[in-house]
Amino acid sequence: MRYRRFQNGVSALMTAGALIFPAVVYPEAQLPLPELVEEPVVSERVHEQTKREKAELEQRMKVLESELAKQREATAASKDKQRAAEAQMRKAQDELAKLKSGQKKKAEPEKKSDRSEDALKSKRRSFEPEMVFIEGEPFFEMGCVSGKGCQGDETVNPVNVKSFYMGKYEVTFAQWDACVEAKGCTYRPRDQGWGRGDRPVINVSWQDARQYVRWLSAATQKEYHLPSEAQWEYAARAGSRTKYPWGNDIGTNRANCDGCGSAWDDKSTAPVKSFEPYGGLYDMIGNVWEWTCSAYEKAYGKTETECANEEDPRPRVIRGGSWLNIPRLVRSANRFWNSAAKRGLNVGFRVSRTH
């Protein structure tokens, strides 16, 4: 009984103490609350700006694509115009060559029949080469007048070229073999297995060619010779001032060379008259190198208009390039040389005469 009263008193005191002295919570015992971090919000205005920039970029790309397409069309049209211009140039060059030939005939009408092709054929022996009359030019400029692909020995050089006759095509195996049969030529060259007949004769030296023209002159009573270097270039140009008589591009199937686009490129010679003529002459470009009568000098002086004699030790000029050579070497202005005694499977010749 007494104990229960004591217990009750203690409880009352504890209750009163709790009211007077509340519990203390120390700050270090409190855990800090996490701070609230707001997520970034993209406003509608930013979205609209991005859309506008994207649309502007897409529009600029369309404009650029349109301009690029127009440039491509313009380039294609420009190439078509260039091809058309070259075709007109070729036509004009052929007409100019015909006019030059006609001018001489008009100036000397009494000799017209002598220079007509029919008259020449009627007077020509079966073994005699066909010839084309070339009207002279007192102020002809030899050398790289096109300014394209020029070499160091092709400086422009004015010369006086008098009128002459030039072989319509290169001397053929058939014509050479006629000389051998007549015992005018002592050497029978190999044809490399490509055939003889109307193929240009090859494997002949400058000395061999001179033997042929001596026989031909005696057999026909006409003064044949190898063309001078100036005569050869003048005839090859056919009135042009471009890399080739038809223009500055080699084109396709206009000649026989390594890159000319013919059936014989880098394989063999082609039969004469296989390609279109220029100025009435066939195969002045490619097929075989052609001997001239001139001695080679790196700088033009007088040798290009003269013929060397057989005792001259200098090499001889060859012109025109061959089936074995790249387009750069078959230009009208390109020069090369060979020893007078040397023979080659891509070297032949054509003849000329002054009367």
148-158 confidence digits (pLDDT tens): 999 999 999 99
Half-sphere exposure of 164 (CA within 13 A, CB side): 25
Residue that the structure tokens 């007549």 belong to: 182
| CB-count exposure of residue 97 (10 Å: 0-12, 13-18, 19+) | buried
Question: Which residue, chain included where needed, has tokens 């003849």?
Answer: 351
Distance (Å, whole) CA 78 – CA 122: 49
CA distance 66 to 60: 10
Q: Is the pLDDT of residue 212 over 90?
A: yes
pLDDT of residue 93: 67
The predicted pLDDT at position 291 comes to 98
Please provide the average confidence, as pLDDT, over all residues in the chain.
Answer: 84
Residue 10 banded pLDDT, cuts 50, 70, 90: very low
pLDDT at 318: 98
**In b/e form, how buried is each residue of 191-202, taking b as 16+ CB within 10 angstroms?**
beebeeebbbbb
- Select the more confidently predicted residue: 79 or 138: 138
Contact indicator for 213, 224 with CB cutoff of 8 Å: yes
Across 52-74, b (16+ Cβ under 10 Å) vs e yields: eeeeeeeeeeeeeeeeeeeeeee
pLDDT at 21: 43
pLDDT at residue 108 tops 50: no
Structure tokens at 121: 């054929």
Most confident by average pLDDT, 36-40, 71-75, 122-126, 189-193:
189-193
Query: Which is more confidently placed, 69 or 332?
Result: 332
The whole-angstrom separation of Cα 160 and Cα 131 is 21
Q: pLDDT tens-digit profile of 219-262?
A: 999 999 999 999 999 999 999 999 999 999 999 999 999 999 99
Instruction: Give me the domains of the chain, ranges plus CATH numbers.
Output: 88-353 (3.90.1580.10)
- Residues present in the chain in total: 355
Return the HEC string of 248-271. CCCCCCCCECCCCCCCCCCCCCCC
User: Cα–Cα distance between 124 and 165 in angstroms, integer?
Assistant: 14
Least confident of 31-35, 209-213, 303-307: 31-35
What pLDDT does 92 receive? Answer: 66
- The backbone region for 293, taken as left when phi is positive above 0, alpha when psi lies in -120 to 50, beta otherwise, is alpha
